[in-house]
A and B are shown apart, each in its own frame.
Chain A
Amino acid sequence: MTLNLEQYAKLIDDEQKAFQADKAVKKVGYICNYIPVELLSAAGVRHARLVKAGSTRTVSAGELYTQSVFCDFTKSCIGFFQESGSLYKSFDKVYNFHSCSTMKRASEVIEQFVPTKLLNLPKLRPSQDARDFFRLEIINFKNDLEELTGKPIAEEEIQRQITIYNRARRLLKQISDLRKDERPVLTGAQFLDITLGYYYLPGDKLVPALEKVLAHLQAKPRGKARPLRLMVSGSIIADGDRRLLDIIENELDARVVIEDHCAGVRPFYHTISETDEPYRALANGYLDQAPCARMKPLSDGVEFSGRLARDYAVDGVIYSYLKFCACYGVSKKEFTDEFRNQKLPVLELSSDYSESDHGQIKTRIEAFIEVLREKQSNHTREQLHA
């Protein structure tokens, strides 16, 4: 059985509609990939990640609550709580495991719309104390969920969900791996759209859907010629923010074969131990995942990014960060140095969700691609002469 990408997109769309209509169960929104989704599923709540990017109108709705120098993703998250018909309006509760400082502030604003709980996430990855503490915080999270639903969460159910989500993460990574092919069967935008299932579908629907999508993609004929292979690294490229990918893949005919941001392949590079005590397993698993730039040491994240660039054999990197992003705007030099050390050309782009700068952004990417193509044809000439 296979599922093509349109059918898969419809499944996600239908699920969001059902989510909004469902009055029988509690519905939870969560911020950031450091939340153990396994527990949400084990608690029997419907859940969705706050991962949508907004139009300029949504952004300015968010700006009612923030200063203007705040990233547009954060402003969108706030803005969607005001927009009629928005998925976010149907949440009974929002959880945030102390994501970046900007999102943490945003979740305090969101509290005006929906009950919101902030939980601690220790940032020092190697520390054993951090791990022990994180385990306790995950238990607090479980207790809060039990209070929300009025039902206890069984440990066996957590174990079962760990197995399900491990399977989902492996499948998503496997799908991403298809892009390592010289002539990949899927675009970068398509991959991002596939990841959305992880944020909107319940685990027991997600796994079979991903299996069918993988089967569909494996049966697809390879692309015609080797495209120019780009990596996009930096701030989140959220659900609804496809401008950069549109320019690269549709307008300029290059491919994003890999991305390193928190709505790309990154959350799917870890698995959780299926044999440890579940809270210990979750604490270790989530702290060991491919880290976001707010985690310490930063070099872990930089190294991971560099590894992706190598594994996916990219020709160049677009380092794109949202304006005012304290994580990726400020640590950009560490990341771009890593790529440059690998002799990879890098284009830095700072962006937001405004629509008027399409031409300026396109000029930069187009020129970058001209330079990369030129480099490639020189390389081919050299090889021919050698």
Chain B
Amino acid sequence: MNQVHKAKDIVSGGEWNYTTSAPVVGLDIGSRGSKGVLLLGDQVATVLNPTGLYMQETADELLSQLVRQVRIDRSDVAFIVGTGYGRISLKYDDIPYKVVTEISCHAMGAHAVVPDTKTIIDIGGQDSKAIRVDPATGKVVEFVMNDKCAAGTGRFLEKAATILGVDLRDLGGVALRSKNPAQVSSQCAVFAESEVISLRARGARENLEEISADIAAGVHVATARRVRNLLGRVGIEPPIVFTGGVSNNVGMWKVLEEEIGAKFTPAKLDLIFAGALGAAVHAWKFHAAATGAESPKKRKPKAGASPEAGAAVAE
């Protein structure tokens, strides 16, 4: 997860347009996982951590891991864009900082790695969204988000994994083994949870694995249907890119493709980073706009850094 990519290796079917001599950072503080992306030269550094209790600490940790990966100092960072549900609570006194919503960031992130992207499905920890993107600019044309309830989001899958005693990362693989997906209500995550419990209670010891697979598959179908309905409202125009933490789930990938009757365009970067990458691209743009042109940032004296920030760098 934490690695440094060559930019050209993560783009499919297009050019990488964000080469930068000034390091810029995107931080996507999600409800479950926090993602960071740093752009410098032709490098793209990525970091993923679970979101902690304190958003600022989570973000500072991401930032210090990112700068360590490309061997620069925190004070070298020219611009940070924050996104995700924790974006509001972040504060940087020493580095230019702006907030962009995750909808715009996911659009820009998907556009950066698959420049032709027209439609995005994003399933995250507490939200899912369908976004129509302008392939010329990476800007959002239209978007629809889920109701604020957890049905059709990663949280729902996570619940199901817990009840089934399966690691969340394996849930999609378990679901793929099912021949006969269980019927799970697609209405409400809370009701669906008790449905899953009663389905499991009906299983006998000898067919427990089969039952687990059927339930896991049923949960995936229920989630996929919710998401498909979102997509119905913005329209499905390929290339379609699947982003967010749940895009790593092979079971969901397959079920969603079946439900919408179209294939996703695979990306060469794990698109759990789509939001953070988009944020970094926005940071790149803000920085370029602020400096008038793409120019290297002069090093600032370290003394201006806040005490916590200093500690993070010294680590």
Measured CB to CB, the residues of A under 8 A from B are 345, 348, 350-351, 357, 359-364, 366-368, 370-371, 374
Contacts and interface: CB of A to CB of B under 8 A. Distances in A.
A366 B148 CA distance: 15
Which of A351, A361, A364 counts the most B-chain CB atoms under 10 A from its CB?
A364
Contacts of B148: 350-351, 357, 360-361
A360 B126 contact: yes
Interface in B260-282: none
Interface in B183-235: none
B140 A371 contact: yes
A359 B101 contact: no
A52 to B, nearest CB: 23
Contact of B142 (A345, A359, A360, A361): A345
B140 A363 contact: no
**What 3 A-B pairs are tightest by C-beta distance, nearest first?**
A367-B103, A367-B101, A366-B101
B147 A350 contact: yes
28 contacts: A345-B142, A350-B147, A351-B148, A357-B148, A359-B88, A360-B85, A360-B126, A360-B127, A361-B148, A362-B88, A363-B101, A363-B102, A363-B145, A364-B145, A366-B101, A367-B101, A367-B104, A367-B143, A370-B100, A370-B101, A370-B103, A370-B104, A371-B139, A371-B140, A371-B141, A371-B142, A374-B139, A374-B140
A374 B103 CA distance: 13
A367 B140 contact: yes
B276 to A, nearest CB: 16
Contacts of B85: 359-360, 363
B149 to A, nearest CB: 9
Nearest to A351: B148
Nearest to A251: B88
Interface string B143-181: 111011000000000000000000000000000000000
Nearest to B106: A367
Contacts of B102: 363, 367
A369 to B, nearest CB: 9
Nearest to A346: B142
A368 B145 CA distance: 11
Contacts of B143: 367-368, 371
Contacts of A351: 148
B86 to A, nearest CB: 9
A366 B144 CA distance: 13
B126 A363 contact: no
Interface in B81-125: 85, 88, 100-104
Nearest to B233: A348
Nearest to A362: B88
A371 B139 CA distance: 8
A366 B140 CA distance: 12
B201 to A, nearest CB: 25
A370 B147 CA distance: 20
Contact of B127 (A350, A363, A371, A374): A363
A361 B147 CA distance: 10
Nearest to B147: A350
A372 to B, nearest CB: 10
Given A345-B142, A359-B88, A367-B143, 15 more contacts: A348-B144, A357-B148, A360-B85, A360-B127, A360-B148, A361-B148, A363-B85, A363-B102, A364-B145, A367-B104, A370-B100, A370-B140, A371-B140, A371-B143, A374-B139
A367 B88 CA distance: 14
Nearest to B85: A359
A191 to B, nearest CB: 27
B93 to A, nearest CB: 22
A361 B148 CA distance: 8
A348 B142 CA distance: 12
Contact of A363 (B103, B141, B144): B103
A374 B139 CA distance: 8
B290 to A, nearest CB: 17
Interface in B35-79: none
Contacts of B147: 350
A326 to B, nearest CB: 16
Contacts of B145: 363-364
A345 B148 CA distance: 20
A351 B148 CA distance: 8
A362 B87 CA distance: 12
A351 B88 CA distance: 21
Which of B101, B102, B139 counts the most A-chain CB atoms under 10 A from its CB?
B101
Which of A359, A362, A368 counts the most B-chain CB atoms under 10 A from its CB?
A359
A27 B144 CA distance: 46
A345 B141 CA distance: 10
Contacts of B139: 371, 374
Nearest to A361: B148
Which of A361, A366, A370, A371 counts the most B-chain CB atoms under 10 A from its CB?
A371
A114 B104 CA distance: 52
A348 B102 CA distance: 18
A357 B100 CA distance: 19
A371 B127 CA distance: 19
Contacts of A345: 142
Contacts of B104: 367, 370
Contacts of B88: 359, 362
Nearest to A363: B101
A332 to B, nearest CB: 11
B226 to A, nearest CB: 14
Contacts of A360: 85, 126-127, 148
A361 B101 CA distance: 12
Contacts of A368: 143
Contacts of B140: 367, 370-371, 374
B291 to A, nearest CB: 21
